[in-house]
Amino acid sequence: EAQVTQNPRYLITVTGKKLTVTCSQNMNHEYMSWYRQDPGLGLRQIYYSMNVEVTDKGDVPEGYKVSRKEKRNFPLILESPSPNQTSLYFCASSRAFDYGYTFGSGTRLTVV
Amino acid sequence: DAKTTQPNSMESNEEEPVHLPCNHSTISGTDYIHWYRQLPSQGPEYVIHGLTSNVNNRMASLAIAEDRKSSTLILHRATLRDAAVYYCILRNFGNEKLTFGTGTRLTIIP
């Protein structure tokens, strides 16, 4: 089944403890992207990647890192999480700019 | 970055057509208009996209104004399962910096 897989689905962590949210797609898509969703603020883009080793900032990149060492994976790294990064995170992938994005099921992160 | 404007919320009766508007007055000639929806407790789902001509697929239709400064997503016969937040975004080759905004929350009345 064609899908975008995020792990974990739920995560509670403490301030300052580095964490990684994994994202993997099995559709050989070129484009991948990370979003966070907060009440009243909608979906905001964190980082995106248009190909292997090519990443760029979205609207809210502060406090996050990403890497794209291979086409299928696009992990989101929080080096020193803070409570304001408590949010629902979505990873997405797309074949090309004139195709739609496929989204993962989301990762609910709580930083205490 | 090109932005879109949508109403915060809309209501429609079940089994009737729904027209969801989107304004994108700063659209460029190479921007594609994409629509997504997000059902409760789920990730966003692609609905439809177009460039200049109207588009139809199994989920919906997309009507694009002649000047491309606005578009309308049409659900031909709304069901309760269509209750969701609908997002209109612009997407351009070479620019994957996408702005979803807060979308339109569609409520379907039985």
What pLDDT does residue A40 have? Answer: 86
Residues A35-57 pLDDT 10s:
999 998 889 999 999 999 999 99
pLDDT of residue A89: 98
Chain A / chain B CB contacts < 8 angstroms: 64
- Residue B85 has a pLDDT of 96
What is the rounded average pLDDT for all residues in chain A?
A: 95
Whether B42 and chain A come into contact, CB under 8 Å, resolves to: yes
- Res A62: pLDDT: 97
CB-based contact B96 A33, cutoff 8 Å: yes
pLDDT of A42 reads 87
Q: Look up residue A18 and give its two tokens.
A: 């580095």
Q: Determine the pLDDT at residue B1.
A: 57
As a whole number, the mean pLDDT across chain B is 93
Integer CA distances (angstroms), A42 to B8, B32, B58, B100, in order: 11, 21, 26, 7
Using a CB-CB cut-off of 8 Å, the residues of chain B touching A32 are none
Q: How far is CA B103 from its chain centroid?
A: 8
A85 backbone dihedrals φ, ψ, rounded to 5°: -95, 5
pLDDT in tens, A54-106: 999 999 999 999 999 999 999 999 999 999 999 999 999 999 888 899 999 99
**At residue A46, what is the residue type?**
I
Q: Examine the pLDDT at B93 and tell me if it is beyond 80.
A: no
Residue B79 has pLDDT above 60, yes or no: yes
Which whole number is the average pLDDT over B31-40?
93
Residue given tokens 């009440």 in the structure block:
A39
